[in-house]
């Protein structure tokens, strides 16, 4: 008896089991993926609402391609924040950047004129506990609320309670702080230019 036949005879149960469990995993993945996506969308809606509380609905408007430089491109999903009477009261957009430990996924909210940042939140942030993960705490995030929607500057010292274009870095987490500020800068301006080119806003209004 050849070695191949002997192997098949002795391991057929293992092969059948591997095929069966592989098929089971594939079926389960297909079944759960829509649910996972639905939950993720629900979490995103909650975060957008927390950034623009007056909005009763968020309407997905477009996906803008963002050039991050060095041959890297990304897509930003843009949502229009609508009031109860259907008026645009702001916009949210998705952004991402490379943190110290992992990719950081963000939600950025701006006013309807793209003049001020309404706030930022994180769809995913897995930075170092006690250091980089402090980016998700109010002490850091609140610096962006009502800050000008222009090029922000990261500083190691300053008044974190003052709302301006200077963002005070998190102590011991300069890489994470830089990633967040760079993401805001990398996405807001090109998204605004994209929307102007598509007639979604007029002259920044």
Domains of the chain: total: 1
5-35 pLDDT tens trace:
655 566 666 666 777 776 767 665 566 555 5
70-120 pLDDT tens trace:
888 999 999 999 999 999 999 999 999 999 999 999 999 999 989 999 999
Is residue 154 one of the residues assigned to a domain?
Answer: yes
Q: Which helix (DSSP H) or strand (DSSP E) does residue 73 occupy?
A: strand 72-82
The domain of 129 spans 52-197
Is residue 60 one of the residues assigned to a domain?
Answer: yes
Is residue 202 one of the residues assigned to a domain?
Answer: no
Is residue 13 one of the residues assigned to a domain?
Answer: no
Is residue 125 one of the residues assigned to a domain?
Answer: yes
Give the predicted TM-score (pTM) of the model: 0.79
Mean confidence (pLDDT) of the chain = 87
Is residue 33 one of the residues assigned to a domain?
Answer: no
Is residue 63 one of the residues assigned to a domain?
Answer: yes
Is residue 24 one of the residues assigned to a domain?
Answer: no
Q: Which two tokens stand for residue 118?
A: 């309404």
């Amino acid at each position: 008896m050849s070695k191949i036949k002997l192997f098949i005879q002795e391991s057929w149960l293992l092969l059948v089991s591997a095929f069966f469990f592989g098929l089971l995993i594939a079926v389960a993945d297909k079944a759960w993926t829509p649910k996972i996506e639905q939950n993720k969308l629900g979490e995103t809606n909650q975060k957008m609402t927390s950034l623009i509380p007056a909005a009763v609905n968020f309407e997905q408007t477009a996906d803008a391609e963002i050039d991050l430089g060095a041959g890297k491109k990304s897509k930003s999903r843009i949502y229009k924040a609508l009031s109860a009477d259907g008026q645009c009261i702001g916009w949210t957009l998705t952004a991402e950047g490379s943190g110290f430990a992992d990719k950081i996924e963000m939600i950025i909210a701006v006013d309807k004129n793209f003049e001020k940042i309404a706030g930022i939140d994180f769809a995913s942030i897995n930075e170092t506990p006690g250091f980089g993960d402090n980016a998700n705490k109010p002490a850091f995030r609140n610096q962006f609320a009502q800050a000008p929607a222009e090029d922000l500057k990261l500083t190691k010292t300053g008044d974190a309670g003052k709302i301006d274009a200077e963002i005070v870095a998190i102590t011991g987490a300069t890489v994470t702080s830089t990633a967040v500020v760079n993401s805001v800068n990398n996405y807001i301006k090109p998204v605004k230019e994209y929307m102007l080119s598509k007639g979604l806003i007029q002259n920044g209004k």
